[in-house]
Amino acid sequence: MSAADTSAQREASALAHFPRPDLASIARPAAPGKAAIPSIAYRAATFADCRDIARFISLAGGGLYEFLFGDLIPLLTPTGFLTVATASPRYSISYRNCFVAVDEPTNAVIGMANIFPTDLLKKENSAVLPLQRRSHIRPMLELQDWGSMFLNALAVSERYRCHGIGARLLDWAEDRSRQAGFARLSLHCWADNTTAVNFYQARGFVALAVAEIPYDARLRHFGGSILMQRKISQAA
């Protein structure tokens, strides 16, 4: 047995005793945010934003896309893979389905939200992914609020957090859902990302169920992925 095998066994043994998060215990009120930054502008994403959009989708995924696409295609990083997909109108993560926050003095994209109808996930072709990777996240793929609008990703650069930017991006996602005639907005959130869970709960999202995703050395999350939902009022 190699040293790597021994190390993996020790890690697996330790994880077996790791307590699963209690959803009720992480439903704490969100901390009050800081004042808004006046230099932030919000707009629909453009083709020129694709690289930044890919970076934020990767950030929001919490390692998911590195797990799925890492070492999949020679010389193409997971972010590079996402950049190609965001540039194409064929994919649900297309820049056309995104909204960005921009720091006007530097013209840097510092936040992004991506939404699309949840039912589009049924048309996604995941055949390019190795079977083992697809099987690992299948519980998440199958646990969806079909018929809702899906908030696939929302992320803000670390230095700009707690200034209301995420809230503004979520406002857009809710408004876009309402305008498109959807009665519900849904999302998946890692159970151990308590900051995100609290943020969404403070905005009226409720936990519907949990997709059990086993811990993996390449996808380091405990407690699975929570399917959350918020009802969208049609009276804007």
Interval 3-46: pLDDT, tens: 444 444 444 444 444 344 444 433 444 445 566 787 999 999 99
Give me the sign of the Cα torsion angle 121, 21, 165, 182: positive
What are the contacts of 167-172 at 24+ separation with CB within 8 A?
167/33, 167/203, 168/40, 168/42, 168/101, 169/42, 169/99, 169/101, 169/111, 169/112, 169/113, 170/113, 170/203, 172/42, 172/99, 172/113
Instruction: Specify the pLDDT at position 125.
Output: 76
Question: What does the pLDDT average to over 57-79?
Answer: 93
Instruction: Specify the pLDDT at position 29.
Output: 42
Instruction: Specify the pLDDT at position 20.
Output: 44
Longest dimension (CA), the chain: 64
Tokens read off for 119 = 């039912």
Cβ atoms of 177 and 143 within 8 Å: the answer is no
| Strand-strand pairing, 98-103 and 108-117 | antiparallel
Please say if the pLDDT value at position 217 is more than 60.
yes
Instruction: Specify the pLDDT at position 37.
Output: 81
Q: How far is CA 106 from CA 41, 101, 102, 153, in A?
A: 11, 12, 8, 23
Interval 195-214: pLDDT, tens: 999 999 999 999 999 999 99
Instruction: Specify the pLDDT at position 233.
Output: 85
Question: What does the pLDDT average to over 51-62?
Answer: 97
Higher pLDDT, 1 or 174: 174
Provide the whole-model pTM. Answer: 0.83
Instruction: Specify the pLDDT at position 126.
Output: 75
Interval 79-93: pLDDT, tens: 999 999 999 999 999
Question: What does the pLDDT average to over 121-131?
Answer: 83
Distance CA 153, CA 93 (A): 9
Could you give the domains of the chain? Answer: 38-231 (3.40.630.30)
Instruction: Specify the pLDDT at position 35.
Output: 67
Q: Count CA atoms closer than 13 A to 73's CA, side-chain side.
A: 11
